[in-house]
Amino acid sequence: MDNIMQQLETWIANVDDPELAAELAQLKAAGNETAIKDAFYQDLAFGTAGLRGIIGAGPNRMNIYTVGKATQGLANYLNANFENPSVAVARDSRNKGELFCQVVAGVLAANGISCSMYPRIEPTPALSFAVRDLQASAGICMTASHNPAPYNGYKVYGPDGCQITTQAAKDIQAAINKVDAFADVKRIPFQEALDSGLARWTGEDTLDRFIAAVETQSLEAGSPETDLSVVYTPLNGTGLECDQRIFEFAQVNNVTLVPEQAQPDGNFPTCPYPNPEIREALAKGLELCETAGTDLLLATDPDADRVGVAVRHNGEYVLVSGNEMGVLLLDYVCRARQARGEDLGRGVAVSTIVSTAMLDQMAADYGFQLRRTLTGFKYIGEQIGLLEAAGQADRYIFGFEESYGYLAGTHVRDKDAIVASLLICQMARYYKGQGQTLVDALEALYAKYGFHKNKTLSFEYPGAAGAQQMAAIMQGFRTNTPAEVAGLKVQNTVDYAECATMPYVGTGLGDAAQTLPAANVFEMQLEGGNKLIMRPSGTEPKVKAYIFATAPTNAEALQVLANMEAAVRELM
């Protein structure tokens, strides 16, 4: 604790920001050792998703000094590895996002690195697009995705528009570790960076090209004959501007906005946890749907890279899970491509090791190749890059992960709620024209491929003690693997920390086998095609348990799922 108190005193002596100085003085005066330790026991870890943490004072918090330190480390890395490097910058609606972007621009300019910044909040996929459109060496997006309001984050992209690779993250972290947050950070005021020409605003033409790229993924021909009514909420985030343009393009004319959540607001006053995976985040939208009898609810998360959906079915609103929407969209894309006469035999779909097993049956049925990557959309983007490098970008069909992230097209290398919104509306309109809902379409897929049910359980372990607990839990599963889970024998295990072979379906196209990077993930394959995967979150103090249940009927699959959930909760 002595070292932590010494760090507190160092910050008090060096911080010149009045708000942070007041917070530090209050921390010291209160003498709350737990609060002090949590803010100072470590530097924010720079992982493959960059930084993410609570806004506040201290090295384990998001503030102008931790952002400055990270940017100085990144600048040192870029100057060592690129000639005349440049950076594309964006932000979502999070508190302090604009200030942090200005700090980034000032530090980059002081290091002779040019940056191009969107002049207002824009979706994360628009940043991924800008990196490649502007031929930048890197991208930075100030976003904490779907985390609660106290959070912000610093997500870094490589020149390919993907979130940085594991090796790049290690190299950047090594550069950051050499930087003292107060003594070593070069910076100039933001206005001076603008005046120098090293910082500039990203032009409207870049965003226009992003929207045009999304529009090329349209799967409708001509003017739609069926009307579709939609309630849309950007959850006080970045989705409104781009999704409104897409609704207009797709001639989805009956759109109602959730008024309390339409405008950017980093406090998320009606939605404390702006995650479209959870029903509470959709409450305001569902209320509006019930009043209007709308066909569809669309909700994009604050940085508009993920989208949640509720469907009116038999007079009630049914939430569609990430896995369910993923298979619906993939099936819809495959149907549309076949209708255009395309051969899916060369096609490649990409998902993750924690996404639904139904994909295996779909790949065998349609004939496309399925590749499964580690969790994290950057790995899906990496597969697109490999196809593009081989001159085979046209083989890419669709990619998705179970956490509500989808991508059609190769215009970005990250999940994209804007293109997903387009395809979801077109798909819902297609089925409505046939007298069906998306729930009807999903039930048809279950009947065809078997009932695959999935659930993700999250167990929170906050603070310094929590990190140790998480490590012990993962080690426990590896060294003392249960013989059975919910009465189902563990038939095989896969430890992804040992660089497992990438799972494929359909390998007869001459594609070489790939090895996955090492990851702290442990998989237990159970009898009957069921499965349990354990994985600590890379961005939150949580251990996640992914449950996969399958059975011939819906009732049986749900029972297996419930039994497995109870067993996992007991294990944890």
Helix H or strand E segment including 505: strand 504-505
Q: What is the DSSP letter of 516?
A: P
Place of tokens 């994209």: 416
Residue 464 contacts residue 473 (beta carbons within 8 Å)? no
Report the candidate in 466, 534, 562 with the shortest Cα–Cα distance to residue 60: 466
Up-side HSE of residue 439: CA atoms within 13 Å toward CB? Answer: 14
Up-side HSE of residue 383: CA atoms within 13 Å toward CB? Answer: 32
Rounded-to-integer distance, Cα 12 and Cα 193, Å: 28
Helix H or strand E segment including 567: helix 554-571
Report the candidate in 390, 370, 386 with the shortest Cα–Cα distance to residue 378: 386
Up-side HSE of residue 125: CA atoms within 13 Å toward CB? Answer: 33
Sequence-separated (6 or more) residues with CB below 8 Å from residue 426:
218, 219, 220, 224, 250
Q: What is the DSSP letter of 120?
A: S
SS3 state of residue 374: coil
Helices 322-339 and 438-449, interaxial angle, to 10°? 90
Catalytic residue annotation: 145
Token output for 169: 């993250």
Rounded-to-integer distance, Cα 168 and Cα 185, Å: 21
Q: What is the C-alpha end-to-end distance of the chain, expressed in Å?
A: 30
Quote the radius of gyration of the chain (alpha carbons, Å): 24
Looking at 358-464, which runs of residues are DSSP E strands?
369-373, 396-401, 405-407, 451-460
Q: Is 537 exposed, middle or buried (0-12, 13-18, 19+ CB in 10 A)?
A: middle
Sequence-separated (6 or more) residues with CB below 8 Å from residue 176:
43, 46, 69, 70, 72, 73, 74
